Structure 1
């Protein structure tokens, strides 16, 4: 497993400056407008509720656009990521945007040891995070460890149904695992999911699937109670090129042909049992 994390870290270290320069992440918008929020946080803002004064931790925060957005909604935010290059960009964005955020470099599985147990009112995980982790049960134990009694998990994630689809055929058809598996899926891709000005040289990455049942069961097993769950027919990137259409109103992508036939993402909330 160490090799998988090392391979993925090299991939994300290279992506970080390219993503920070990409118009899709829009660093310029954050710097120019103190009210600007990421598209992911904007999409879920009605579900997030009032974050004023909450101690929040953003796990797998990447270059910090969602992290800064949470801070702008009033939370006191800590960001954690295993990529030092990503955190360098996140710190640069936060400083330019005037956001005070405490960033830490660590594997997400080490978050409780690094940040301390029971410190947070909110654990936030943005889209495209769980697929990089081999064990969703171990992730759920970290979430439970970080939350205070009564604290909340908020996650928006790619739907595992979408994750099974092969984007190289039309119409897209199931090809990849739906359920968790021991060995990683190995991909070798020179590109990334946003517009960048060059191809990657560290092109290999390792990913894992996790079913909805496995995710929910893991949270229940670690003392969290599910409080909200919504499935969406859209995602914030063009997951199936040539088969999705961009919705300008929501800045999301959905299937061009009958969007209702594919669950593309979901939002899940859960609360840790009170002491």
Structure 2
């Protein structure tokens, strides 16, 4: 199972990385043109991040590196880790084009400590759409704890597990839960020929395997790994049109449910400290 899901998901991400790098959604040209430009995800949580100047940070599952670069622009000494060599090629090119000193490493998330070393990071950062590619949230939490020095912190913004459990928008407008909310051993297999940015590309590697993780499961896993929860905020917005035709654009280039958005938790930000 392990090798199969990794191979399927890596092929999917390797193929999509060039389309993401070319898209207006990621806006790589804006990073090169404007040395103060930050990704929308980092911009959204900038106040919650606080002053990160001088911190040694690592961005897990960093993809093409726009959040990683943004954190470096806020003064952190950043590294990035991802399992997709194609995504990392774009991340390295972006950092070079922007004159940023970011060390990138290719590895599976669960191998991060072996590759990066343990106990040396002040900040572990994970952005939206990362945890769903991992079958075991407790193993993830243990990796986070092992990477952090005592007093170091995790910053996570993620799609809410309720959002991930929704089906495609229904014609009757009802919001229903169709997919797992809690982590399941087998994972959910998807077969889709598109991606979440605007592109004309239709992809060959259309299958992926994903897992949802409930809020309680994430928090419990971090507590069991020796971290102390310091913040947990649920948001009524998400940085892409997650429910096409049902959402409206709001600040920070975010989207939320147009009809009574208070019914649906869209994303959440969590922070936790080791020790």
Q: TM-score range by the shorter chain?
A: over 0.9
SS at match of 1:230: strand
What SS is found at the alignment partner of 2:128?
A: coil
TM-score, normalized by length of structure 1?
0.98
Q: How does 1:183-194 map to 2 (within 5 A)?
A: 183-194=186-197
> CA RMSD for the aligned pairs?
0.7
Which residue of structure 1 lines up, in the alignment, with residue 224 of structure 2? Answer: 221
1:70 is the counterpart of 2:71 = yes
Partner of 1:123: 124
Query: Which whole-Å CA distance do the structure 1 matches of 2:95 and 2:20 have between them?
Result: 15
Q: Cα offset for 1:91?
A: 0.4
CA distance in 2, matches of 1:171, 1:95: 47
Q: TM-score, normalised by structure 2?
A: 0.98
State the partner residue of 1:261.
263
Give me the whole-angstrom Cα distance separating, in 2, the residues matched to 1:27 and 1:110: 28
In structure 1, the partner of 2:245 is 242
Contact 1:171 1:243 in 2 (8 A): no
CA distance in 2, matches of 1:167, 1:229: 27
1:109 corresponding residue in structure 2: 110
Q: Is the 8 A contact 2:169 2:246 kept in 1?
A: no
Determine if contact 1:231/1:267 at 8 Å carries over to the other structure.
yes
How many angstroms does 1:171 deviate by?
Answer: 2.7
- Any unmatched runs of 5+ in structure 2? none
Q: 1:61 matched to which residue of 2?
A: 62
In the alignment, which residue of structure 2 is the partner of 1:232? 235
Q: Are the aligned partners of 2:145 and 2:227 in contact in 1 as well (CA < 8 Å)?
A: yes
Counterparts of 1:236 and 1:104 in 2: how far apart (Å)? 26
Shift of 1:199: 1.2
Determine whether 1:33 maps to 2:34: yes
Deviation at 1:98, TM superposition (A): 1.3
Q: Measure the CA separation in 2 of the matches of 1:132 and 1:255.
A: 25
1:136 and 2:137 aligned: yes
Moved over 2 A (4+): none
Tell me if structure 1 keeps the 8 A contact 2:222–2:228.
yes
Aligned counterparts of 2:84 and 2:20: Cα–Cα separation in 1: 13
Quote the residue 2:49 is aligned against: 48
Deviates more, 1:193-202 or 1:204-213: 193-202
Aligned pair partner of 2:200 in 193, 197, 200: 197
